[in-house]
Amino acid sequence: MISEPTIPSLEQLDATGALRESFAAVDGGSRRDFLWKGTLAGAGFLAALSTPAWAKGKGPSKSLDLLILRFGLTFEHLQAQFYEEGLRIGGFSEETKRWARVIGAHERAHVQIIRHVLGPKAIPSPFFDYHGVTEHEGAFTKTAVAMEDLTTALLIGLMPVLDSPSLAAALFSLLTVEARHAAWVRHDRGLLPVGKPFDDPKTIPEVNRLVASTHFMKSTPKTWSKNAPRFTG
């Protein structure tokens, strides 16, 4: 339970080549259709995202940007709490704490700003169960690498589907930071900080499936009730 993080490496995923094919199709022009279909096919992660605008038949571009921001918010929550929890309970070495403190602060800043941008349309944080990886330094570090690589891939994958230039500009300024995080943790771990000259993209459905496979996201435990209390009074 505590020995192995469950996010597969991106290299493993890229081995299928399916992603490159997908993006070749995307470059052909039907980006929106691709994302749309892929999104509907995705499982788990997106269940956490309600998309009322779609249901009301509003313009797809609006719901697309909204979807992306909500997805981003949930993903940043996933990361922010990961670092927070690791720092709190992991009992890690000073080297690990050094990057976890800074990266955790960045992810928290990302959560705050995206939540602010979404305003009333922000969705609450899911409940996370990291299955012990925040309590084991090796697993924590390994998962941090996978998570930062995945975030980098997600942001790259989003670029061609964004409608809003200002949203693209914001995500570009996050992209290079997430890539720095990945390189930093990799270097700390003795891995090559950058293995390839080009980072590979991932689509929202791809990321969705990956995150779902970790089972890190749970519904919030139901700790409230409407039953009449039976406390001693």
Interface with other proteins in residues 134-153 (CB under 8 A) = 134-136, 152
Asked whether the beta carbons of 149 and 12 are under 8 A apart, the reply is: no
Site for other proteins in 214-233 (CB under 8 A): 218, 221-233
Q: Given candidates 184, 204, 206, 207, which one binds other proteins under the rule CB under 8 A?
A: 184
Question: What residues are paired with 218 via a beta bridge?
Answer: 127
Between CA 169 and CA 163 the distance in angstroms is: 11
Q: Give residue 182's region: left, alpha or beta (phi > 0; psi -120 to 50).
A: alpha
Q: Between residues 42 and 90, which has the closer beta carbon with respect to other proteins?
A: 90
Interface with other proteins includes 121 (CB under 8 A)? Answer: yes
Q: Which string of DSSP letters, residue by residue, matches 169-191?
A: HHHHHHHHHHHHHHHHHHHHTTS
Q: Is 101 in the site for other proteins (CB under 8 A)?
A: yes
Closest among 37, 7, 77, 6 to 203, alpha carbons compared = 37
3-state secondary structure of 217: strand
Least spacing, CB of residue 8 vs other proteins, in Å = 19
Compute the least distance from the CB of residue 29 to other proteins, in Å. 9
User: Is 197 one of the binding residues for other proteins (CB under 8 A)?
Assistant: yes
Pick the closer one to other proteins by CB: 16 or 173. Answer: 173
Residue 202 binds other proteins, judged by CB under 8 A: no
> Can residue 89 be called a binding residue for other proteins (CB under 8 A)?
yes
Q: Is 72 in the site for other proteins (CB under 8 A)?
A: no
Q: Is 20 in the site for other proteins (CB under 8 A)?
A: no
By CB under 8 A, residue 15 contacts other proteins: no
CB 200 within 8 A of CB 19: yes
